[in-house]
């Protein structure tokens, strides 16, 4: 090697070592910094962080000594390599993503998976809810990987304003999968290239069942258009410098579900997350996720598979891993209700393991304070903050209805962290008072003054309608009796005058009816 090239080579190698060391350190240091980590575990993690950094630096040194650039020749592994001990999930050496990564040298499947730390517990993609501040909160309490909310690829390419609001991250926000929805491969690639340097992989949403997805022809509605699904994945697989992953749903039948998953893998997806509900099963909480289908898909795919649906506690996460054989799990709605869901040990043990939500006591309210602090650090739109407030402490607001009124209606002012912190402290005070006075750790829902007034108005309206109906019936019934009486009466003039006076006291409508 010429001297100049040798110097350049050394510089690149030392840069790679620094990047690897920073990445290893950042992830362990982040975990060690969690307030929930006990001092002994914290010390152990810090030691691990230093060790991991040394190990990665050592590995880089070895490859340098062998004359191999640490990033230039990544261990090749992909869908075809499963079963080969060197490439499979059990291999101990952690691969380092190449620098610079290109479409040709990027990590695949199991190397990609292990480079992310083989993460088991994932924050699922959630529109307006898996934003940076929330991801960070969940990572502090056990989540080991996170998806961004779904990003609209075309808007992302076209609108700088949308880009700025929808995608915020920082160096410690890893491992991170950025999710897009799209139906045009070129647009998707253009959008994905913008985020590739700041994430571990780019995910494509093939699971969104909402009307807006139907209108835009993306998400789960591409389950009817396999060619487009294939083209989208293939484009990123062949041209994006980071791996492409896919989030899919199951079909009604196992055979189609398997065929679809295999097609997604063959097109180039390096990781597949499977939501065990069909496109028609929109209201997730009402339908059990089909773990049996996920298990079959996991058995047949060669790339890592994540299971999604019905993960409401760490116990259920573990049960799902065992039942499906999946490599990790995603939680969405339950994680919104309990951001410390993956925490081990749990912050607040569930009173009933079969019904672990809502979280008892003031645990979530305290987590909410921590989340609000994070929103001060990472700018978060008030609508997202409000969504999290409702999810995290909404069950208590069903008892403290005045607090809910304030949250929803107070002057319409944006509910920022500064405004909300005193409100959460008031809530914590009340929750603790309930516990001291009544020993209760869960709320007793009651109606708000607004709901009571609305119900009273509805009751009064229903009573008026019923009364009207009664009068109509009575009047119609009496018409024939009156007619008979008129025919038989002795003084028809007096009778008629009396009748007219009585009739005049009724409304025009009544008279029309009686006629």
Ligand X SMILES: Cc1cc2nc3c(=O)[nH]c(=O)nc-3n(C[C@H](O)[C@H](O)[C@H](O)COP(=O)(O)O)c2cc1C
The least distance separating ligand X from the CB of residue 212, rounded to whole angstroms, comes to: 11
Q: Which residue, 158 or 333, has its beta carbon nearer to ligand X?
A: 333
CA distance 44 to 414: 42
Binding to ligand X in span 302-331, by CB under 6 A: 308-311, 331
Q: Which residue, 232 or 284, has its beta carbon nearer to ligand X?
A: 284
The least distance separating ligand X from the CB of residue 323, rounded to whole angstroms, comes to: 15
Alpha helices (H) in 326-400, listed in sequence order: 333-337, 363-377, 382-397
Q: Which of 116, 124, 138, 389 binds ligand X (CB under 6 A)?
A: 124
- Residue 338 is a binding residue for ligand X (CB under 6 A): no
Give the interface segment with ligand X, choosing from 37-45, 122-130, 295-303, 445-453 (CB under 6 A): 122-130
Question: Is 208 among the catalytic positions?
Answer: yes
Q: Please name the helix (run of DSSP H) or strand (run of DSSP E) that holds residue 308, with its range, or none.
A: strand 305-308
CA distance 324 to 314: 15
- Residue 127 is a binding residue for ligand X (CB under 6 A): yes
Q: Which residue, 74 or 346, has its beta carbon nearer to ligand X?
A: 346
The least distance separating ligand X from the CB of residue 149, rounded to whole angstroms, comes to: 5
The least distance separating ligand X from the CB of residue 292, rounded to whole angstroms, comes to: 16
Q: Which of 60, 94, 126, 269 binds ligand X (CB under 6 A)?
A: 126
DSSP state of 273: E
Give the interface segment with ligand X, choosing from 1-9, 18-26, 203-211, 396-404 (CB under 6 A): 203-211
User: What residues form DSSP beta bridges with 202?
Assistant: 178, 244
- Residue 332 is a binding residue for ligand X (CB under 6 A): yes
The least distance separating ligand X from the CB of residue 306, rounded to whole angstroms, comes to: 10
From residue 130 to residue 169, what is the string marking binding to ligand X with x (rule CB under 6 A)? -------------------xx-------------------
- Residue 241 is a binding residue for ligand X (CB under 6 A): no
CB atoms within 10 A of CB 196: 21
The least distance separating ligand X from the CB of residue 273, rounded to whole angstroms, comes to: 8
DSSP helix/strand/coil, 201 = strand
The least distance separating ligand X from the CB of residue 470, rounded to whole angstroms, comes to: 47
Give the C-alpha distances (Å, rounded to integers) separating 265 from 118, 159, 338: 19, 31, 32
Task: For 400-426, give the secondary structure using H, E and C.
Answer: CHHHHHHHHHCCCCCCCHHHHHHHHHH
* Phi and psi, residue 248, nearest 5°: -125, 170
Q: Which residue, 286 or 352, has its beta carbon nearer to ligand X?
A: 286
**Contact 300/274 with Cβ under 8 angstroms?**
no
- Residue 229 is a binding residue for ligand X (CB under 6 A): no
Give the interface segment with ligand X, choosing from 33-41, 201-209, 251-259, 474-482 (CB under 6 A): 201-209
The least distance separating ligand X from the CB of residue 247, rounded to whole angstroms, comes to: 5
Task: Give the tokens for residue 252.
Answer: 């009604």
Angle between helices 314-324 and 291-300 (to 10 degrees): 50
The three-point CA angle 124-353-442 to 5° equals: 90
- Residue 129 is a binding residue for ligand X (CB under 6 A): yes
Give the interface segment with ligand X, choosing from 120-128, 359-367, 442-450, 460-468 (CB under 6 A): 120-128
Binding to ligand X in span 280-299, by CB under 6 A: 284
User: What residues form DSSP beta bridges with 79?
Assistant: none
- Residue 246 is a binding residue for ligand X (CB under 6 A): no
The least distance separating ligand X from the CB of residue 277, rounded to whole angstroms, comes to: 7
Q: Which residue, 56 or 205, has its beta carbon nearer to ligand X?
A: 205
CA distance 400 to 337: 18
| Site size toward ligand X, by CB under 6 A | 22
Q: Please name the helix (run of DSSP H) or strand (run of DSSP E) that holds residue 227, with its range, or none.
A: helix 226-239
CA distance 51 to 104: 31
DSSP helix/strand/coil, 36 = coil
Alpha helices (H) in 89-175, listed in sequence order: 109-115, 132-140, 153-158, 160-166
The residue at minimum Cβ distance from ligand X is: 150
Binding to ligand X in span 260-279, by CB under 6 A: 275
Q: Which residue, 74 or 125, has its beta carbon nearer to ligand X?
A: 125
Q: Which residue, 268 or 387, has its beta carbon nearer to ligand X?
A: 387
Q: Which residue, 87 or 341, has its beta carbon nearer to ligand X?
A: 341
**Nearest residue to 202 via CA among 162, 174, 175, 236:** 236
From residue 48 to residue 87, what is the string marking binding to ligand X with x (rule CB under 6 A)? ----------------------------------------
DSSP string, 353-368: TTS--SPPTTHHHHHH
What's the residue count for the chain?
A: 515
**Active-site residue, from 145, 208, 320, 489:** 208
The least distance separating ligand X from the CB of residue 180, rounded to whole angstroms, comes to: 10
DSSP helix/strand/coil, 209 = coil
**Contact 312/284 with Cβ under 8 angstroms?**
no
Q: Which residue, 123 or 242, has its beta carbon nearer to ligand X?
A: 123
**Contact 89/327 with Cβ under 8 angstroms?**
yes
CA distance 177 to 180: 10
Q: Which residue, 63 or 270, has its beta carbon nearer to ligand X?
A: 270
- Residue 243 is a binding residue for ligand X (CB under 6 A): no
CA distance 108 to 244: 9
**Which residues are known catalytic residues?**
208
List of residues contacting ligand X (CB under 6 A): 124-127, 129, 149-150, 179, 205, 207-208, 247, 275, 284, 308-311, 331-334
């Amino acid at each position: 090697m010429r001297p100049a090239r040798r110097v350049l080579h050394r510089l690149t190698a030392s840069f790679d070592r620094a990047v690897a060391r920073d990445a290893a350190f950042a992830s362990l240091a982040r975990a060690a910094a969690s307030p929930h980590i006990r001092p002994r575990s914290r010390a152990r993690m810090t030691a691990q962080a230093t060790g991991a950094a040394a190990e990665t630096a050592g590995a880089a040194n070895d490859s340098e000594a062998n004359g191999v650039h640490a990033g230039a020749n990544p261990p090749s592994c992909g869908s075809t390599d499963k079963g080969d001990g060197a490439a499979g999930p059990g291999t101990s050496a952690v691969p380092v993503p190449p620098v610079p990564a290109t479409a040709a040298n990027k990590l695949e499947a199991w190397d990609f998976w292990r480079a992310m730390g083989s993460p088991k517990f994932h924050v699922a993609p959630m529109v307006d809810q898996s934003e940076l501040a929330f991801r960070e909160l969940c990572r502090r309490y056990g989540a080991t990987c996170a998806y961004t909310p779904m990003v609209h690829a075309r808007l992302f390419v076209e609108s700088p304003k949308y880009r700025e609001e929808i995608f915020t991250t920082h160096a410690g926000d890893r491992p991170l999968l950025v999710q897009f929805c799209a139906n045009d491969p070129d647009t998707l690639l253009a959008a994905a290239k913008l985020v590739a340097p700041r994430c571990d992989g780019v995910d494509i949403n093939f699971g969104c069942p909402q009307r807006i997805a139907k209108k835009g022809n993306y998400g789960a509605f591409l389950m009817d258009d396999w060619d487009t699904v294939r083209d989208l994945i293939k484009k990123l697989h062949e041209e994006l410098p980071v791996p492409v992953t896919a989030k899919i749903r199951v079909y009604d039948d196992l055979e189609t579900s398997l065929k679809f998953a295999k097609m997604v893998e063959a097109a180039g997806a390096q990781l597949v997350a499977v939501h065990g509900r069909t496109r028609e099963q929109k209201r997730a909480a009402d339908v059990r996720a089909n773990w049996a289908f996920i298990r079959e898909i996991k058995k047949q795919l060669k790339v890592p598979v994540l299971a999604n649906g019905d993960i409401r506690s760490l116990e259920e996460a573990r049960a799902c891993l065992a039942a499906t054989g999946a490599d990790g799990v995603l939680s969405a709605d339950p994680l919104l209700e309990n951001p410390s869901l993956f925490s081990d040990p749990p912050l607040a043990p569930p009173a009933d393991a079969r019904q672990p939500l809502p979280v008892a006591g003031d645990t979530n309210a305290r987590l909410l304070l921590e989340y609000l602090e994070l929103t001060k650090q990472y700018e978060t739109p008030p609508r997202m903050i409000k969504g999290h407030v409702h999810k995290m402490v909404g069950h208590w607001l069903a008892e403290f209805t005045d607090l809910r009124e304030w949250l929803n209606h107070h002057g319409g002012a944006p509910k920022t962290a500064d405004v909300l912190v005193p409100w959460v402290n008031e809530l914590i005070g009340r929750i603790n008072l309930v516990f001291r006075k009544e020993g209760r750790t869960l709320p007793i829902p009651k109606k708000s003054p607004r709901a009571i007034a609305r119900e009273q108005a509805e009751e009064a309206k229903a009573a008026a309608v019923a009364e009207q109906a009664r009068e109509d019936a009575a009047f119609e019934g009496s018409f024939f009796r009156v007619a008979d009486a008129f025919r038989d009466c002795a003084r028809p003039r007096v009778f008629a005058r009396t009748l007219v006076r009585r009739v005049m006291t009724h409304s025009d409508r009544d008279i029309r009816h009686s006629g």
